[in-house]
Structure 1
Amino acid sequence: MRLVKTSLLGCVIALLWANSINAAATEISLQLPQIETSQYHRPYVAVWVEDAQQQPVKLIALWVQKPDWLKDLRRFWRKIGRSDTALVDAVSSATQKSGSYTLQWDGKDDQGRELTAGTYTLLVEAAREQGGRSLVKHEFKWPATGAFIEIAAEGELGNISARLR
Structure 2
Amino acid sequence: MQPATRTILIGGTLSAALAVPVLAAAPATMDVTVTIPQLKVAEYHKPYVAFWVEKAGAPAKTVAVWYDHDMKANEGTKWLRDVRQWWRASGRSMTFPANGITGATRAPGTHKISFSRAQLGALAAGEYVLVVEAAREVGGRELLRIPFTWPGKAGAGGRAAGKTELGTVSVAFR
Equivalent residues in 2 for 1:134-153, closer than 5 Å? 134-145=142-153, 146-153=155-162
Higher helix share: 1
- What residue in structure 2 maps to residue 41 of structure 1? 45
- What residue in structure 2 maps to residue 14 of structure 1? none
Whether the 8 Å CA contact 2:142–2:162 is kept in 1: the answer is no
For these two proteins, the number of residue pairs brought into alignment is 141
- What residue in structure 1 maps to residue 78 of structure 2? 68
Q: 1:162 to 1:53 in 2, by over 3 A?
A: same
Q: What percentage of aligned pairs have identical amino acids?
A: 38
TM-score normalised by structure 1 residue count = 0.77
- What residue in structure 2 maps to residue 124 of structure 1? 132
Whether the 8 Å CA contact 2:50–2:132 is kept in 1: the answer is yes
Whether the 8 Å CA contact 2:48–2:135 is kept in 1: the answer is yes
After superposition, give the CA deviation of every residue in 1:68-111 in whole Å (9 maximum; x if it has no partner). 1011100111111111225x5322111111011001012345xx
Higher strand share: 2
Quote the RMSD (CA, aligned, Å): 2.0
- Structure 2, unpaired ranges of 5+: 1-24, 69-75
1:125 partner amino acid? E
Name the CA distance, whole Å, in 1 between partners of 2:58 and 2:146: 12
**Cα shift at 1:55:** 2.0
The structure with the larger Rg is 2
The runs of at least 4 aligned residues of structure 1 exceeding 3 Å deviation read: none
Whether the 8 Å CA contact 1:108–1:115 is kept in 2: the answer is no
- Structure 1, unpaired ranges of 5+: 1-19
Name the CA distance, whole Å, in 1 between partners of 2:108 and 2:166: 10
**Cα shift at 1:60:** 2.4
